């Protein structure tokens, strides 16, 4: 039977192994930050107002994925309560100054 069905079988799509585990669902703010454990982390601006999944590695490092499980970015845990500077905001500000 296998020989007969082999041609019609489809391959299993690859999945990031970390996606299998429970991750925290968060919404990216309008200014490109996601809040996790009381701290803010920058996310590329194209994900503003989108849901993302946050995976914590031993509480010291986080990885952020889109809802489909595609990796977006990663950060070391923010130890301070100050809002980190968003890299894309720096670029936008520099472009505005040059105008």
The whole-angstrom separation of Cα 16 and Cα 20 is 8
> Is 23 a domain residue?
yes
Mean pLDDT in residue range 74-98: 77
pTM: 0.67
What does the mean pLDDT of the chain come to?
Answer: 83
> Is 9 a domain residue?
no
> Is 8 a domain residue?
no
> Is 74 a domain residue?
yes
The pLDDT of residue 69 is 85
Residue span of the structural domain in which 59 resides: 16-98
> Is 1 a domain residue?
no
> Into how many domains does the chain fold?
1
> Is 41 a domain residue?
yes
With 70 as the cut, is the pLDDT of residue 18 above it? no
> Is 37 a domain residue?
yes
Closest alpha carbon to 28 in 51, 3, 57, 56:
51
The pLDDT of residue 46 is 94
> Is 5 a domain residue?
no
């Amino acid at each position: 039977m296998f020989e007969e069905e082999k041609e019609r079988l489809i391959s299993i799509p690859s999945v990031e192994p970390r996606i299998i585990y429970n991750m925290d669902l968060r919404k990216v703010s309008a200014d490109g930050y996601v809040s996790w454990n009381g701290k803010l982390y920058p996310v590329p601006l194209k994900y503003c107002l989108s849901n993302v999944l946050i995976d914590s590695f031993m509480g010291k490092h986080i990885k952020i994925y889109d809802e489909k499980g595609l990796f977006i970015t990663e950060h070391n845990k923010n130890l301070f309560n100050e809002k980190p500077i968003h890299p894309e905001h720096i670029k936008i500000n520099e472009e505005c100054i040059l105008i």
